[in-house]
Amino acid sequence: MSDGTAHVVNKKRRRFLIGSTSLAGAAGAAGAAVPFVGSWNPSARALAAGAPITIDITRLAPGQLLGPMPEWRGQPVYVFQRNEATLDSLRSRTDHLADPQSEDAGQQPEYCQNEFRSIRPEVMIMVGLCTHLGCAPILNAQVQPQDYDPEWSGGFFCPCHGSMFDLAGRVYSGVPAPDNLMVPPHYYENDNVVVIGLDGEDS
């Protein structure tokens, strides 16, 4: 083989080796980056819960829903402040409720399975969709006789089919709605900020 031919072969071989080394290096770098990028992805549990939202509750006033109304997973979230008289009524008036102890575990996180269905007794957080057909119950916090309940002590009334819930979102007996209003997973980032869609242990 002449020197000219050997020079051409060596040149081609050098290009092949450089290209192969570069390709292997790039693949290695990409492979190393996968675990790093993957560590930024939300956990399967977080994805299943839906994207979390953060709510500032400094404007929350007793007897009123927080506005503008937040949404989580495309659903309205009712955030409501209760006073001591309301909390007393939630403790005492339970004979008219279908599930006063919130025994249906699917309707609230375990840490909200209490008489107030909340982390902080004075703050109620729940999905504002009736468990009958998904209508939006209306807040009526006034404690006075109503057409739909002469002994009304405040709560949520669904005008579509007459379902009633108390101020903890617990459903009345004998109404179309089968379950209490749902309490979403949530935790308090601080006194004035609540994160909806994640348990505290997921944060």
Tokens for 80, please give them: 């409501």
Residue 12 CA to residue 30 CA, distance in Å, equals: 27
- Structure confidence at residue 143 (pLDDT): 73
b/e burial code for range 62-78 (CB count within 10 A of at least 16 → b): eeebbeeebebeeeebb
Is the pLDDT confidence value at 192 over 60?
Answer: yes
The pLDDT score that the predictor gives to residue 37 is 35
Q: Model confidence over 11-65: pLDDT tens digits?
A: 554 554 444 444 444 444 334 333 333 334 445 555 445 689 999 999 998 888 9
Structure tokens at 141: 């916090």
Please give the average per-residue pLDDT across 169-178, as a whole number.
Answer: 95
Given pLDDT bands bounded at 50, 70 and 90, which one contains residue 3?
Answer: low
Query: Whole-model pTM?
Result: 0.72
Other beta carbons within 10 Å of 80: 25
Domain ranges in the chain? 1-41, 48-202
Assign domain 48-202 to its CATH architecture.
Answer: 3-layer Sandwich (2.102)
**Among residues 118, 138, 164, 141, which one has the least CA distance to residue 76?**
138
Q: Hey, CA dihedral for 103, 115, 98, 67, is it positive or negative?
A: negative
Q: Average pLDDT for residues 115-125, to the nearest whole number? A: 96
Q: Which two tokens stand for residue 168?
A: 């903890």
pLDDT at 63: 84
Compare 126 and 47 and report the one with higher pLDDT.
126
Instruction: Band the pLDDT of 173: cuts 50, 70, 90.
Output: very high
